[in-house]
Amino acid sequence: MKYTVILAATLILPSCSSPEPESLTIPATAIEPITGVVANAEVSLLISGMTCEMGCKGLIESKVGKSAGIVNFEITFADSTALVSFDSTLISPAEITVCVAAVGGGGLYSATVLK
């Protein structure tokens, strides 16, 4: 019995004194996202159907702004216009107007190209 206790202590005690974990330092570098989307065109739109700045404007900006090829989508609520910066190799002004019309399930908003 005494032999078993000594043997168990001999096996358990060395495992309790494990070495301190290694510390690995990774140098911090700035990582820029690779999107491949280049704003090479701009278009102004007249947006119809907006009734409130917080809801309508915010909803359209968030939904259309996430569309593929759109770099920046900013609405000026006072005159119901939007300035859109986009990658013309990925999306066209006509497709952007379709995206606006589709917001909210369709039928609520429409967009017309100004220039």
Average pLDDT over residues 29-35: 60
Residues 1, 20: Cα–Cα separation, whole Å: 34
Q: What does the pLDDT look like over 54-111, one tens digit per residue?
A: 889 999 999 999 998 999 999 999 999 999 999 999 999 999 999 999 998 888 999 9
Top pLDDT among 6 and 107 is at 107
Residues 101, 95: Cα–Cα separation, whole Å: 10
Average pLDDT over residues 32-50: 83
Query: CA-CA distances (angstroms) from residue 89 to 15, 70, 84, 95?
Result: 63, 11, 15, 12
Domains in the chain: ranges and CATH: 41-113 (3.30.70.100)
Model confidence band, residue 27 (pLDDT cutoffs 50, 70, 90): confident
Amino acid, res. 104: G
Q: What is the pTM of this model?
A: 0.66
